[in-house]
């Protein structure tokens, strides 16, 4: 049926005397079809590869989404989550906030020193983790990859600071491993609102580049 | 000239849109299938629970692993019948069971708070159906394969050996095996 439609769409001037499309016409159709299929696949792969984990909503430098693991998730969200955070929990269990840039919009650079400052979050517990561009933990000598609310002193719970830098820093320190680009993921477990809403900009940690 | 090239170009554009959509739809299934087989090969195969060590920078089993969580996973295959998942209570401030189907949708999730600290017992039922035995909550799953994942918060790595010993009591097996 589809072949009939293609043959019908070929003007008489581009058919042989037997009424069939010329070889040149067939080549044009085949090339267009193949280019279309390959372009569609490449565009989809690029879209997923360049997609940010939880990119539906931007809140300052943080991006998030709330339909992970649900049937409501769009095809693109589902593909990006599978690529960037397979087996992510639904919003009622955990909310994921990802940052690939600082407060000024510059990409997070593992050669620089950043100050991450935040306060108490309306959840049972939270953790902040440094990942490389592929979504894996950043190699570092002390083997420190994250900091969580459970590890903070009681007096730090309401106002905390973490330095993200390649070299050891006083206080709370997350090594950035001297890599060119890193990302931060803030996991907020058992959010007080059941995951129905996003944290506000004032509740999410500030990401300030201090030195480079 | 335009009359000659417009129809094949339109066909190309239509096929591009179709290929784009099909690729997006199939990506999660492909990545989930790869992860399921990878976890099964790294552990003891399908329908068994494997307790993984804490994630480090060398961990490549899944992307974006949480270093604060101890993961135990059961890559399941329901083609041989329902699979029973038993999650033992552990002395940690947070633990949970989540079940993901082949399309990456969450078929079931429950944490220690919702379970009042009691063990969680579920029977994963595939397309062929089946019945959950007494004491097990039925969980319908689309497709035959997926992953049941236990997450346990390790708030103090010094306590990990104790929690690690406790989580070994969790299991995953085909009904009747």
ipTM here? 0.72
Q: Does A142 touch chain B (CB under 8 A)?
A: no
The torsion angles phi and psi of B34, rounded to 5 degrees, stand at -65, -45
Taking CB atoms and an 8 Å cutoff, what residues of chain A touch B105?
A: 69-71
| Nearest Cα residue in chain A from B5 | A28
Q: Collect all residues with Cβ–Cβ distance below 8 Å to A184 and sequence separation of at least 6.
A: A98, A99, A108, A116, A128, A129, A130, A131, A164, A207
Mean pLDDT of A20-31: 83
User: Domain locations in chain B?
Assistant: 50-174
Contacts of B17 (CB under 8 A, 6+ apart): A40
Partner-chain contact B24 A76, CB within 8 Å: yes
Q: What is the mean pLDDT of chain A?
A: 83
The minimal CB distance from B15 to the residues A40, A85, A129 is found for A40
* pLDDT greater at residue B48 or residue A77: B48
pTM of this structure:
0.77
Encode pLDDT of B17-36 as tens digits: 988 888 888 887 888 888 78
- A185–B67 C-beta distance less than 8 A: no
CATH class held by domain B50-174: mainly beta
Lowest mean pLDDT segment, chosen from A10-14, A30-34, A104-108, A173-177: A10-14
CB-nearest to B28 from A6, A28, A78 is A78
Q: Indicate the pLDDT class of residue B170, thresholds 50, 70 and 90.
A: very high
Q: What is the reported pLDDT for A15? A: 62
Closest approach of A9 to chain B, Cα-based (Å): 7
- Whether the CB-CB separation of A183 and A108 falls below 8 Å is answered with yes
Buried/exposed code over A80-114 (b: 16+ C-beta within 10 A; e: otherwise)? bbbbbbbbbbbbbbbbbbbbbbbeeeeebbbebbb
Look at residues A74, A80, A73, A86 and name the one whose alpha carbon lies nearest to residue A45: A80
Return the pLDDT at A2.
47
Residue B34: count other Cβ atoms within 10 Å of its Cβ.
Answer: 12
A-B contacts at Cβ under 8 angstroms: 185
> Do B63 and A84 count as a contact with CB atoms less than 8 A apart?
yes
Phi, psi of A163 (to 5 degrees): -95, 130
The pLDDT of residue B89 is above 50: yes
> Chain B neighbours among A 168-187 (CB < 8 Å)?
185, 187
């Amino acid at each position: 049926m589809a072949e009939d439609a293609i043959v019908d769409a070929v003007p008489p001037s581009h058919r042989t005397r037997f009424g069939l499309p010329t070889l040149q016409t067939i080549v044009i159709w085949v090339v267009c079809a193949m280019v279309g299929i390959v372009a569609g696949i490449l565009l989809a792969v690029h879209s997923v590869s360049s997609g940010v984990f939880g990119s539906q909503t931007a809140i300052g430098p943080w991006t998030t989404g709330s339909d992970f693991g649900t049937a409501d998730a769009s095809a693109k969200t589902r593909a990006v989550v599978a690529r960037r955070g397979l087996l992510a929990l639904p919003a009622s269990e955990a909310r994921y906030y990802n940052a690939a840039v600082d407060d000024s919009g510059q990409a997070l650079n593992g050669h620089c020193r950043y100050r991450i400052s935040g306060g108490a979050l309306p959840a049972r517990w939270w953790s902040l983790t440094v990942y490389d561009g592929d979504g894996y933990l950043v190699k570092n000598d002390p083997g420190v990859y994250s900091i969580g609310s459970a590890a903070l002193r009681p007096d730090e719970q309401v106002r905390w600071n973490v330095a993200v830098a390649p070299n050891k820093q006083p206080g709370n320190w997350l090594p950035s491993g001297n890599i060119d680009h890193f990302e931060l993921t803030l996991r907020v477990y058992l959010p007080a609102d059941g995951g129905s809403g996003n944290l506000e900009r004032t509740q999410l940690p500030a990401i300030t580049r201090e030195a480079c | 000239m335009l009359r000659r090239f417009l129809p094949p170009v339109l066909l190309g554009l239509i096929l591009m849109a179709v290929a784009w959509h099909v690729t997006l739809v199939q990506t999660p299934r492909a990545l989930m299938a790869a992860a399921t087989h990878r976890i099964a090969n790294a552990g003891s195969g399908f329908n068994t629970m494997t307790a993984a060590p804490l994630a480090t920078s060398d961990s490549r089993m899944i992307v974006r692993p949480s270093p604060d969580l101890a993961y135990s996973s059961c890559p399941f295959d329901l083609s041989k019948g329902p699979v029973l998942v038993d999650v033992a209570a552990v002395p940690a401030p947070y633990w949970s069971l989540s079940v993901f189907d082949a399309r990456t949708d969450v078929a079931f999730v429950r944490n220690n708070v919702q379970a009042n600290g009691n063990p969680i017992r579920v029977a994963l039922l595939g397309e062929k159906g089946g019945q959950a035995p007494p004491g097990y909550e039925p969980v319908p799953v689309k497709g035959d394969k997926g992953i049941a994942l236990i997450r346990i918060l390790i708030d103090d790595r010094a306590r990990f050996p104790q929690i690690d010993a406790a989580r070994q009591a969790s299991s995953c097996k085909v009904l009747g095996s």
